[in-house]
Amino acid sequence: MAGQPTISRFFKKAVKSELMHKQEQEVAVGNGAGSESICLDTDEEDNLSSVVSTTVTNDSFPLKDSVSFKNSKNSEKTSGTSTTFNDIDFAKKLDRIMKRRSDENIEAEDDEEEGEEYLVKKKARKSPTAKLTPLDKQVKDLKMHHRDKVLVIRVGYKYKCFAEDAVTVSRILHIKLVPGKLTIDESNPQDCSHRQFAYCSFPDVRLNVHLERLVHHNLKVAVVEQAETSAIKKHDPGASKSSVFERKISNVFTKATFGVNSTFVLRGKRILGDTNSIWALSRDVHQGKVAKYSLISVNLNNGEVVYDEFEEPNLADEKLQIRIKYLQPIEVLVNTDDLPLHVAKFFKDISCPLIHKQEYDLEDHVVQAIKVMNEKIQLSPSLIRLVSKLYSHMVEYNNEQVMLIPSIYSPFASKIHMLLDPNSLQSLDIFTHDGGKGSLFWLLDHTRTSFGFRMLREWILKPLIDVHQIEERLDAIECITSEINNSIFFESLNQMLNHTPDLLRTLNRIMYGTTSRKEVYFYLKQITSFVDHFKMHQSYLSEHFKSSDGRIGKQSPLLFRLFSELNELLSTTRLPHFLTMINVSAVMEKNSDKQVMDFFNLNNYDCSEGIIKIQRESESVRSQLKEELAEIRKYLKRPYLNFRDEVDYLIEVKNSQIKDLPDDWIKVNNTKMVSRFTTPRTQKLTQKLEYYKDLLIRESELQYKEFLNKITAEYTELRKITLNLAQYDCILSLAATSCNVNYVRPTFVNGQQAIIAKNARNPIIESLDVHYVPNDIMMSPENGKINIITGPNMGGKSSYIRQVALLTIMAQIGSFVPAEEIRLSIFENVLTRIGAHDDIINGDSTFKVEMLDILHILKNCNKRSLLLLDEVGRGTGTHDGIAISYALIKYFSELSDCPLILFTTHFPMLGEIKSPLIRNYHMDYVEEQKTGEDWMSVIFLYKLKKGLTYNSYGMNVAKLARLDKDIINRAFSISEELRKESINEDALKLFSSLKRILKSDNITATDKLAKLLSLDIH
């Protein structure tokens, strides 16, 4: 009975509709805690031979059953025989009754929560043809103006979705859909048979959980809150006089804006997907050949805006895909006809919706603000149009102000760093498994903060190509390594960073006005702790930082700049003063109303007049309640009488004294011993007190927004503080990695491209507690720019070439590297063709994917590139593979500006290509003949040696994979036969050539000798 109410639901007390009181039977159900009644319609009476009374344990398992009947018409009791609770007929009837009544009970509970609105709603239900209730009309009006959103509407202590929104939400959240009209415009033919809209609901405490699930399905969700309370509606002359509360959209959420617009912390502190962004993209094609892209990307979590303009052939998409990989768009704003189908497919494949949005006319002050901002960053007209489009789009989410801060704009491409393409990121394990174990990011990440974590990710994605900046990072690593154990300043600062929250995200949430009070308090407290720390160590800072002649200034210009700026910014910020305006006890208050009303320390808060005025009015009412209490004490002659609480202000009177009370006293509730009353004056004063409470909450919310604006006024300075701390955190992280055993500082050389290393190691494999055999690296114009590497399968060829690339990337990030010594030049890019896989989505075979990668390398390489080509031609036949590999090597070897190339292969004939740029190497091994095996086993030595090897020892790998010996022996026999045939064929070809030369009559003996000597004989 999936989807039906449970047995426990049947025993829950529910409000009964009037129809449920007609001709019922009661089934008395007894248990240890008391008894409840199961009411059955008379339609079921004839079919039941007995009614069950069940004894239930605390675990709600039925133990013993007895039967009793009570007739609702004449109260005549009848007894029956005992039976068990798992009687099948009874269970079926019980489930049928529960199914019929669950809708009525849930509806009645929801109506009760709606309060005053229920009275109007109840009247409208009397007739199936009745008009919509005021609440349903309000819902319809809201939905008709926001058809692009799913509306989640507060009604009492629940949130409800109506009509088509309810259908969508109930399906995603797996919650009950109460039947009704399924469309807001009543276009569904079945809608005429219902009196109200279909709806689903959930408790308000589950809002955040359900929102996260809804936006995950790419829905735009609007949360609609009540804009007034019952007390304000009743006492405020300016309040609406309609029968329903005024409701307005308070927040709009999408997957892109959910994290910064919600007032709670997302699960997981460090998520690589945290870099998701919103794009505005335009594409223009010139003469049908070249496509020009303009791009603005905003990351709301980090408060970063990236801009870019680039061109590529009309049907090409490499540059666009690189930007998709780096910036991870989650929403893309485009004009209706901007993107062709093949480009739109890229976004569809990553579940990124395209939002067709035309340009809107912005208000004059916004246009002027964008113009002023652009004077500092100088964007092109096409980019400014995209900025305006993004601004108008984010007005709906209250995040538009981020677009007007010039200091957060930065170009995507730069002359100071390289871009690692998606192939390199994947094949070199830069971020494997979201930066998990076994990746370069995992190796280098020792950051203490979330914002440092994200900056380190950017450093790894974009290694530097400016040698001056690389040297500055290396100097900083050496400096901090020597200072950290000798300086209390650094030791204490590092401990503080361990417990620092995500300052950058909190700062942006403060700017958007979506942060919680507790989050603001801890943000101010953390910044203030940094201020106090720097004040405490002013003598140390003066000695080593404020003067360029100080120890830090001499050793590390980068650290000198970072801490000089930090010291200046922290000494001028007003955040410590703002912290004194907060009432700390209220921040920790669990009662949300008290947290709002008492958040400010009114002795220090500089805009407290409005709050104090309302508090005085509230105190006046409380004084009147005290006066009323004094009168009640006199009347009852109970001088120590007090109100039962300070919420409802009820008076408890013993039941034996009720007859002496005034007639106008109102009884609220009672027990066996006492009854609780309120007097007419107490009731009025209590309502007035509730009115002032609501006014105080409203005023406190307004002042809180003003308080956030005061912090936002220092946004640029506070962001700079956070970014400087992030840089320091990244330097600490690289320093921790560089302290590993046998890590050395790289030396950068000018001139032609070269990598010279002694006993270098693969940093990732070594970090996995694997004994790694070190190898030298010799690549330069003198030592060969093209290294062709052969050797047995699993001999370490791929690990070696990855090692060279990883050391290069680490060095250009600014990290020490695992080697005894390393000298290298600056590389502008690292391009790879490693591994074999097909692309099912695009319908590309393994070999086509391989050739597309080769094409990408040919188009993007230059003399300052490092190329890794691993077993090119493996995806096709042997002859075609050899031909393509041969042609590639010949092509590169004949270039005047040949890049450095590592080329692994199982085609030894490639090593016979003659060129001064080519050097042949192999991974060393030792052969071993074992009993019962026809083939030679191999012991891998993992050492790079000069020269070629002609055997790949595939049988050895088959053995390692535990294939059956008979299969391997058979394969070896076939392999030997094929090898002999190949040798015989080569010998026949050589004999034929010799015969043809010797029998030639038209050439001299000298020419014959020259031709014979030119033959390639092995």
Give the CATH number for residue 490: 1.10.1420.10
CATH no. for residue 404? 3.30.420.110
Distance of CA 559 to the CA centre of its chain: 32
Provide DSSP, 860-901. H--TTEEEEEESTTTTS-HHHHHHHHHHHHHHHHT-TTPPEE
The total of structural domains in the chain comes to 7
Buried b (16+ CB within 10 A) or exposed e, 768-795: eeeebbbbebbbbeeebbbbbbbbbbbb
- Percentages helix, strand, coil for the chain (3-state, rounded to 5) are 50, 20, 35
Same-domain status, 206 and 301? no
What residue ranges in 328-419 does DSSP mark as E strands? 329-334, 354-356, 409-411
Q: Which two tokens stand for residue 927?
A: 């052969």
Instruction: Kindly list the averaged pLDDT for each block of 10 residues, start to end, along the chain of length 1018.
Output: 38 38 37 37 38 36 38 39 51 58 53 52 50 87 92 93 95 94 88 89 92 90 86 67 79 83 46 70 85 93 92 85 89 83 85 82 90 93 93 90 93 91 90 74 93 94 95 95 86 94 92 92 97 93 75 88 94 96 93 92 92 94 93 91 87 88 90 92 92 92 95 96 97 94 93 94 87 92 93 86 96 96 96 80 78 89 94 80 88 92 89 90 82 70 88 66 69 64 55 62 66 55
* Spatial CB neighbours of 980, under 8 Å, sequence gap ≥ 6: none
755 lies in the same domain as 877:
yes
Provide the b/e sequence for 74-106 (b: ≥16 CB within 10 Å): eeeeeeeeebebeeeebeeebbebbeebbeebb
Give the list of residues 6+ apart from residue 993 with CB closer than 8 angstroms, or none: 1015
Same domain, 303 and 232: no
Q: What's the pLDDT score for residue 903?
A: 95
Q: Do 145 and 81 sit in the same domain of this protein? A: no
Domain-ending residue, one of 102, 129, 147: 102
Looking at the structure, do residues 341 and 373 belong to the same domain, yes or no? yes
Question: Would you say residue 308 lies in a domain?
Answer: yes
Whether residue 14 is contained in a domain is answered as yes
The alpha carbon of 711 is separated from its chain's Cα centroid by a whole number of angstroms, namely 26
Say how far apart CA 483 and CA 489 lie, in whole Å. 10
Residue whose pair of structure tokens reads 């600014």 in the numeric block:
814
Decide: residue 529, CB within 10 A, 0-12 exposed, 13-18 middle, 19+ buried.
middle
Instruction: Name the domain boundary from 394, 409, 424.
Output: 409
Same-domain check for residues 977 and 927: no
User: Rounded to whole angstroms, how far apart are CA atoms 596 and 64?
Assistant: 53
Instruction: For residue 825, give its domain range.
Output: 746-963
Angle between helices 163-173 and 134-145 (to 10 degrees): 80
Q: Are residues 25 and 121 in the same domain?
A: no
- Cα(499)–Cα(493) distance, integer angstroms: 10
Residue 198's Cβ-count burial label (10 Å; 0-12, 13-18, 19+) is buried
Tell me, yes or no, whether 763 and 897 share the same domain: yes
The CATH number of whichever domain residue 247 belongs to comes to 3.40.1170.10
Question: CA angle, 166 as apex, 161 and 168 as ends, to 5°?
Answer: 130
pLDDT at 997: 60
Residue pair 812/827 in contact by the 8 Å Cβ criterion = yes
Residue 584 lies in a domain: no
722 and 640 part of one domain: no
Residue 1018 lies in a domain: yes
Residues 693 and 833 in one domain: no
In a domain, 958, yes or no: yes
Whether 202 maps to a domain, the answer reads: yes
- pTM to 2 decimal places: 0.80
From residue 150, alpha-carbon distances to 170, 254, 262, 398 in Å are 12, 11, 17, 18
Residue 108, pLDDT score: 53
CATH of the domain at 890: 3.40.50.300
Q: How far is it, in rounded angstroms, from Cα 364 to Cα 346?
A: 37
Residue 41 maps to a domain:
yes
Q: How far is CA 261 from the centre of its chain?
A: 13
Boundary of a domain, candidates 52, 67, 102: 102
- Quick one: 958 and 968 in the same domain? no
Measure the CA–CA gap between 182 and 191, rounded to whole angstroms: 6
Task: Determine, yes or no, domain membership for 665.
Answer: no
Domain shared by 1014 and 938, yes or no: no
